[in-house]
Amino acid sequence: MRLINRTAEAQERGRTVVAGIPIKSPRELEYMRQAGQVVAAVLGLLERSVEPGMRTRDLDTLVRQEIRRLGAKPAFLGYKGFPATICVSINNEIVHGIPGDRVVRKGDLVSLDAGAIVSGFYADGAITVGVGSIGREERALIDVTREALERAVALCRDGVRIGDLGHAVQSLAEGRGYSVVREYVGHGVGRALHEEPSIPNFGTPGMGVTLRKGMVIAIEPMVNLGGWRTALMDDDWTVVTADGSLSAHFEHTVAIGEDGAEVLTRLNGEGR
Q: Which stretch binds Mg ion (CB under 5 A): 50-58, 131-139, 214-222, 260-268?
A: 214-222
Contact 184, 249 (CB under 8 A): no
- 3-class SS string, 84-99: CCEEEEECCEEECCCC
Region binding Mg ion by CB under 5 A among candidate stretches 71-79, 120-128, 143-151, 264-272: 120-128
SS3 142: helix
- CA-to-CA separations, 159 to 21, 156, 255, 258, in angstroms, rounded: 14, 8, 13, 9
Pairing of strands 17-18, 247-249: unpaired
The nearest distance, CB 112 to Mg ion, in angstroms, is: 12
Looking at the Cβ atoms of 39 and 141, the one nearer to Mg ion is 39
By the rule CB under 5 A, 217 interacts with Mg ion = no
The nearest distance, CB 124 to Mg ion, in angstroms, is 4
Asked whether position 218 contacts Mg ion by CB under 5 A, the answer is yes
Measured at the alpha carbon of residue 170, what is the angle toward residues 169 and 172, in degrees to the nearest 5?
70
Rg (CA), the chain: 17
Nearest to Mg ion of 161, 187 (CB atom): 187
| Residue (124 or 138) nearer to Mg ion, CB | 124
Maximum CA extent, the chain: 53
* Amino acid found at 257: G
Residue with smaller CB distance to Mg ion, 178 or 184: 184
Of 103 and 232, which has the nearer Cβ to Mg ion?
232
Nearer to Mg ion, 76 or 205 (CB): 76
User: Please, what is the minimum distance in Å from the beta carbon of residue 177 to Mg ion?
Assistant: 26
- Please count the residues of this chain forming the interface with Mg ion, following the rule CB under 5 A: 2
124 binds Mg ion (CB under 5 A): yes
Distance of CA 49 to the CA centre of its chain: 20
Looking at beta carbons only, is 134 or 192 nearer to Mg ion? 192
CB of 192 to Mg ion, least distance (A): 12
Give the nearest distance from C-beta 239 to Mg ion in angstroms: 12
Site string for Mg ion, 138-177 (x = CB under 5 A): ----------------------------------------
Q: Which residues pair with 223 in a beta bridge?
A: 180, 248
C-beta atoms surrounding 100 within 10 Å: 14
Cβ-defined contacts of 61-68 (< 8 Å, 24+): 63/114, 66/41, 66/42, 67/38, 67/42, 67/114, 67/116
Q: How far is the CB of 173 from Mg ion (least distance, A)?
A: 18
Q: Please choose, out of 116-124, 171-179, 204-212, 225-233, the segment that lies near Mg ion by the rule CB under 5 A.
A: 116-124
Minimum distance, C-beta of residue 84 to Mg ion, in the bound complex (Å):
15
Q: Residue 22 forms beta bridges with which residues?
A: 17
Query: Where does this chain bind Mg ion (CB under 5 A)?
Result: 124, 218
